[in-house]
């Protein structure tokens, strides 16, 4: 294989490794320096970095991981304090806390932290489910690596504080950054849409909601999607469709707010849809070409993930996937799987407790 290619270079470098940690790390540093001006210099440097990490003894890896965890905990403490101040009605203090951290993360990304390369892309997913759902809607084939910092959560918190302070344009910028780091979390997209709503840009608000729909993998998010569509359509004067979305949302979660909005349509605009059922609402939405049920690729992903998680002994992910799929579809076979998994976990915990474990 030619050494002019990335694979050729890495194959040549790999031949110089001998399994001794001290030797291999020093050798890889030399190789990264030697190839820094190569056509694939950036990718080679990162690949050497990954090999250096693999060469580290387990105790050194643990030390480094502890430092990273402590740094992450520090960011989390800032987020927690900012959220506390928001709840206490002190948005100015919340902004004072979170803005420097968001600006620091801007600097980190400008310096290349989390920059994608030939082999990998970097995201800040909260769960395996988010990762798999994103995969279902992406043509990306590179390896996903976890971001070293909680980028999505920091930018989301910053955007939320800016929203409360009335800085909707700046909030949009922050939330778009959050979505770059976690494109599979509907909450980030919902919040982005709320800022466009505040700006009166209903067309973009509608587009953001439609772009959110494929990533919806929970009943709560599906209920919020339909409520949001309902609120939007009231603003646009399409009251029957608005009522249909609001009533259909009740299939995924009870909401006094949805019902009160349907009553608002009756009292304010004289159109009575209080007799509409979620089932008739669904038929109306389908007949009008409105987004209604969960995305098929997302549902298929949840179904596949149940088995994948079980095969990998990740019972928590298997249960969450089964519950989400059941709540989105009402499929009793999936409901039985979820119930049986929960029962198995409870029995195992009871047995472990009986054995004093």
Is the separation of the CB atoms in 98 and 161 below 8 Å? yes
Sign of CA dihedral 169, 171, 176, 180: positive
Q: Considering the chain, tell me which residue range(s) the CATH 1.25.40.10 domain(s) occupy.
A: 75-113+147-215
Task: Tell whether the torsion through CA atoms of 69, 70, 73 and 75 is positive or negative.
Answer: negative
In angstroms, rounded to a whole number, what is the distance separating the alpha carbons of residues 73 and 30? 34
At residue 65, the pLDDT reads: 54
Structure tokens of 124? 């800040």
Structural contact between residues 116 and 171, judged by C-beta atoms closer than 8 angstroms: no
pLDDT score at 70 = 46
Q: What pLDDT sits at residue 286?
A: 96
Q: Are the CB atoms for 174 and 159 separated by under 8 Å?
A: yes
Round to whole Å and give the CA distance between 104 and 113: 11
Separation of alpha carbons 99 and 104, rounded Å = 9
CB atoms within 10 A of CB 205: 24
Alpha-carbon distance of 232 to 171, in angstroms, equals 20
Give the Cα separation of 228 and 196 in Å (integer): 12
Domain 75-113+147-215: top CATH class: mainly alpha
What pLDDT is attached to residue 66? 54
Of 159, 209, 180, whose CA–CA distance to 113 is shortest?
Answer: 180
Distance CA 274, CA 281 (A): 11
Q: Which residues contact 153 (CB under 8 A, 6 or more apart)?
A: 76, 79, 124, 178
Q: How far is CA 281 from the centre of its chain?
A: 29
pTM for this predicted structure? 0.80
Per-residue pLDDT, 282: 97
Classified as helix, coil or strand, 120 is strand
pLDDT (0 to 100) of residue 7: 82
Tens-digit pLDDT string for the chain (357 aa): 445 688 888 888 889 988 888 898 888 889 888 887 888 777 787 778 778 778 878 876 665 555 445 455 588 888 999 999 999 999 999 999 999 999 999 988 887 777 788 888 999 999 999 999 999 999 999 999 988 889 999 999 999 999 999 999 999 999 999 999 999 999 999 999 999 999 999 999 999 999 999 999 999 999 999 999 999 999 999 999 999 999 999 999 999 999 999 999 999 999 999 999 999 999 999 999 999 999 999 999 999 999 999 999 999 999 999 999 999 999 999 999 999 999 999 988 888 766 555
Count Cβ atoms below 10 Å from residue 156 Cβ, excluding itself. 24
In DSSP terms, which residues pair with 146 in a beta bridge?
Answer: 123
For 282-335, the DSSP string reads HHHHHHTT---SPPHHHHHHHHHHHHHHHHTT-HHHHHHHHHHHHHHH--HHHH
Query: What are the start-end ranges of the H helices in 6-90?
Result: 6-14, 21-34, 41-55, 58-87
Half-sphere CA count of 142, side-chain side, radius 13 A:
13
Q: Let me know: does 188 contact 195? Beta carbons within 8 Å.
A: no
pLDDT of residue 61: 60
Give the per-residue pLDDT at 6: 80
How confident is the model at residue 354, as a pLDDT? Answer: 61
Residue 204: predicted pLDDT: 98
User: What is the distance between the alpha carbons of residues 208 and 170, in angstroms, rounded to a whole number?
Assistant: 17
């Amino acid at each position: 294989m030619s050494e002019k290619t990335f694979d050729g270079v890495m194959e040549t470098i790999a031949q110089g490794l001998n399994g001794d940690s001290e030797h291999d790390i020093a050798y890889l540093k030399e190789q990264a320096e030697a190839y820094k001006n190569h056509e694939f210099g950036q990718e080679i440097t990162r690949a050497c970095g990954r090999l250096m990490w693999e060469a580290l003894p387990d105790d050194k890896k643990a030390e480094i991981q502890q430092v990273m965890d402590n740094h992450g905990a520090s960011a989390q403490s800032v987020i927690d304090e900012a959220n506390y101040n928001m709840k206490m009605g002190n948005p100015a203090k919340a902004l004072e806390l979170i803005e420097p951290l968001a600006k620091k993360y801007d600097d980190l990304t400008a310096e290349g932290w989390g920059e994608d390369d030939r082999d990998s892309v970097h995201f800040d997913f909260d769960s395996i489910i988010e990762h798999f759902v994103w995969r279902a809607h992406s043509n990306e084939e590179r390896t996903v690596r976890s971001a070293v910092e909680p980028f999505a959560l920091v930018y989301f918190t910053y955007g939320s504080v800016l929203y409360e302070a009335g800085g909707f344009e700046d909030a949009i910028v922050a939330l778009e950054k959050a979505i770059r780091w976690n494109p599979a979390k509907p909450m980030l997209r919902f919040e982005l849409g709320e800022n466009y709503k505040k700006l009166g840009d209903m067309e973009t608000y509608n587009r953001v909601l439609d772009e959110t729909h494929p990533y919806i993998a929970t009943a709560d998010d599906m209920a919020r999607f339909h409520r949001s569509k309902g609120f939007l359509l009231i603003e646009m004067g399409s009251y029957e469709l608005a009522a249909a979305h609001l009533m259909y949302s009740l299939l995924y979660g009870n909401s006094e707010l949805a019902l009160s909005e349907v009553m608002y349509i009756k009292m304010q605009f004289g159109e009575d849809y209080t007799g509409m059922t979620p089932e008739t609402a669904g038929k109306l939405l389908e007949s009008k070409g409105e987004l209604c049920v969960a995305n098929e690729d997302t549902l298929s992903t949840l179904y596949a993930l149940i088995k994948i998680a079980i095969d990998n002994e990740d019972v928590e992910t298997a249960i969450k996937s089964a519950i989400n799929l059941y709540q989105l579809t009402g499929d009793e076979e999936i409901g039985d799987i979820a119930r049986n998994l929960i029962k198995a976990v409870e029995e195992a915990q009871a047995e472990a407790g009986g054995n004093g474990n």
